[in-house]
Amino acid sequence: MARTVLLNPGPVTLSEAVRRAATSTDLCHREPEFLDLQQAVIEGLLGVYACDPGQWAAVPLGGSGTLAMEAMLASTVRPAERLLVLENGVYGERLRSIADVHGLPADSLRYRWGEAIDGAAVEQRLASGDYAALAMVHHETTTGRLNALDEMADLCAAHGVRLMVDGVSSFGAEAIPFEHPALSACAATANKCLHGITGLAVVLVRRALLDAQLPPRSVYMDLATWAARQARGSTPFTPPVNAYLALHAALAELEAQGGWPARHARYTACAERVRGALADKGVAPWLAPAESSCALRSYGMPSTLNYNDVHDGFKQRGFIIYAGQGGLSKEMFRISTMGDISDDDLERLAVAIDQVFEQ
């Protein structure tokens, strides 16, 4: 079968080693072979950003990235604590929905999709003293915008507020300040910048938050339960064993390639190559590259073309691109350069861009 390269923001194109690892063996999750694997994955996850294992727990649990977001909020916000949520895309809005579903008192600062978050407005809200925690998306995949995580962390620290981050589409490829005292938890997934397979959500959380004796809001996704069981070489429920096998191989690959800074550099080079090829055809970024992540860029859809035709043109040539979400579906499309994309793939992609936008 001809190679199809995924240019959607996860699941990503796998390396051969990761694809093979996923089905390399059958494991019972109550046997030491799996529990050693689980421990190695936990250590690998902590290692990506050199998190101090005395301060941080990495908790993998079966589910998609949304489960990581939900487990993070539901497991760490104490009764009567109030949350400020920053929304400038689909995933910020999802953080707010999660807070609402779990009955967590929350207010939002809302921006148009793609708009930058205004630090002064955040500062003013946090200065009110009403909030115990700030929840935000790092890379807002709706538009490719990389939100100002360091600035928000400083504001949180200044006001004694915990910062909780959806890093689902940035963990493994963008700088995340785990040493910053305000950063309290980060949601991630195996199948985006880490290049694993789908099915494994991850939350990195400060151990102090797990010790808070918070009554569980969920049987399945209570992080304190997961962390305690994993720490004593166990697991509360049947885990996605194959996703562990794949993530173990993917983490080894990430380290061998030079860690997240090398991945950041690779994604950036790929994204710039794509931007250049699109610019040659008169297709301009929808959001400025300087404000975008390394992992995904959004582009304006030429008014003479229809997304479905463009999508199908790429698909015939072996590439899956990604539509704009909701109200943006007519005006922009997205190209992610996450995943194991080779130089050969980029050559073919440049040709595909030239052909699809030829007119």
DSSP state of 168: T
The least CB distance from residue 137 to ligand PLP, in Å, is 5
Would you give the distance in Å from CA 270 to the centre of its chain? 18
Nearer to ligand PLP, 143 or 225 (CB): 143
Residues 166-203 as b/e (b if ≥16 CB within 10 A, e otherwise) read bbbbbbbbbebebebebbbbbbbbbbbbbbbbbbbbbb
- 183-189 and 162-166: which strand pairing? parallel
Nearer to ligand PLP, 88 or 189 (CB): 189
The CA angle 26-30-32, to the nearest 5 degrees, is 80
Nearer to ligand PLP, 38 or 336 (CB): 336
Nearer to ligand PLP, 114 or 313 (CB): 114
The least CB distance from residue 229 to ligand PLP, in Å, is 23
> Residue with CB nearest ligand PLP?
65
Q: Give the whole-angstrom CA distance, residue 298 versus residue 141.
A: 9
The least CB distance from residue 130 to ligand PLP, in Å, is 26
Q: Give the whole-angstrom CA distance, residue 289 versus residue 271.
A: 9
The least CB distance from residue 167 to ligand PLP, in Å, is 8
Q: Give the whole-angstrom CA distance, residue 251 versus residue 21.
A: 12
Q: Where do contacts with ligand PLP occur on this chain (CB under 6 A)?
A: 9-10, 64-66, 69, 91, 137, 139, 141, 166, 168-169, 189
Contact (Cβ atoms closer than 8 angstroms) between residue 205 and residue 75:
yes
The least CB distance from residue 108 to ligand PLP, in Å, is 16
Q: Give the whole-angstrom CA distance, residue 97 versus residue 69.
A: 11
Nearer to ligand PLP, 38 or 141 (CB): 141
Q: Give the whole-angstrom CA distance, residue 279 versus residue 296.
A: 16
Cα distances (Å, whole numbers) of residue 227 to 10, 156, 182, 242, 350: 26, 26, 21, 20, 45
Among all chains, which residue has been given the structure tokens 């950063």?
Answer: 183
Taking residue 282's Cβ as centre, other Cβ atoms within 10 Å add up to: 10
Q: 88: left (phi > 0), else alpha (psi -120 to 50), else beta?
A: alpha
Which residues are bridge partners to 143 per DSSP? Answer: none
